[in-house]
Structure 1
Amino acid sequence: MNSVIDAFNLYFEMISADTDVLKQEVYKLRYQVYCLETGFEDAKQYPLGLEFDEYDPYAKHYLIRHRRTGEYAATTRMILANPSRLNAEFPLERYFQIDDYSVLGKLNRNHLGEASRLCVSKTFKQRKSELTLQGIEDTSLDYFLPDERRVFPHISFALIACLIKACDENHITHFFGTLEPAWFRFLSAAGIHFTKIGPLIDYHGMRWPGLIKSFRLARRRC
């Protein structure tokens, strides 16, 4: 495991986007992925080339930076409860059907979050023939060194590590997330338990709404 971590840290670094300048990089990368690469969002709605929404002011943002080029490879965020409106809906509560409200009734919303906007630049996505969730053109791989390409699968784990950090630093005990079937299998194989709280629906692709117990807190009780 240490060799995997050391290899990742040799080529990439995790950055907390806690300044206005770094947040601009987050929004630029999200615009690139969600508006230009996938078409999930309408680029015309973001004329400045920055994809952001009403949840960003009270979210913790993270970036994965490629050390050699200085380019940002991936980003994610953990939305925290709105401090002025604790009962305000999280995105999952707004856009997904929830069947199991008994689970939610036991949660303290001060310690609840939602993981969202996990995205990786097309340049850094891996070939389908390797361990990956999405692929890129083989010609793009000429941009990277062979050792760098072998580290690409760990970008997904690095994004999960960012969420662990967000939970630990903000006293999050549980957080919402929406998962495509491929991501559900990926997390399950990694030993991360995702509790489905509603049906699979088409929201930028087929996704389940679910709840995840904070990884760090779960380990402390073991």
Structure 2
Amino acid sequence: MRNFQVVLGVLFGVLVFLFLDYALPSRNTVRITNTYNKLTDLGWNKIFYASPDTGTVQNAQGLRDIRFIDTVRPNGKPLVYRNEDTGTIWPPYFKYDSSNLHAVAGDLKSSAEAPRWVSVTSYGWRISPLSIFPNAISMRPVAGPGDHPLNWPAMAILGVIGALLFLIWRMWNQFRERSIDPALARADRAIDRVDDRLDSARDRVVAESRQARGRFSGWVDSWRGKPRR
């Protein structure tokens, strides 16, 4: 049972980590190389794309018109973003300006000979075999490839989550001290009293049984002509 609880705890921790890693904003310094729209056929991976309620355009064949932003990292590795509104649907970034962001991204395009570096804030994962892309939220120019602005939004969210967890922990401890622990103590005392009564009853039954056996033995001996002890 103990091992089962440990496994459940580890699985829960992994799920929480993956959830936060996907939903929290991240920042990457990149160079924008291209911006374009593409009709994309979404299958099971549509859970990683915006909800149709956000106003995304989808034709009769089920192909969705999605904006993409091609970028290159300082180490030369590509990183492709999608650019979709989130609306009030999860995650709650309240993004409604994907058109404006696409225009800004197009204006910040540059070449390897004359690079312009940009810090892009996004959420989500880039998994190439599954055609999953992070969603760009905002961007702003930075001085160079080594400039990495502090990711204060993620830090603030983690701080709020930590404060809420601490508050819940404190409330649980107070509830346990005021309600659960006294109830357990009362239950322990009640169990002890029951045990004492059972022990007394058992001792009384044993004593009475011995007395009854003694009287019965005396009665049998009287019939045999033996003097009573």
Shorter chain as normaliser: what TM range?
under 0.3
Relative to the length of structure 1, the TM-score reads 0.22
Structure with bigger gyration radius: 2
Higher helix share: 2
Relative to the length of structure 2, the TM-score reads 0.22
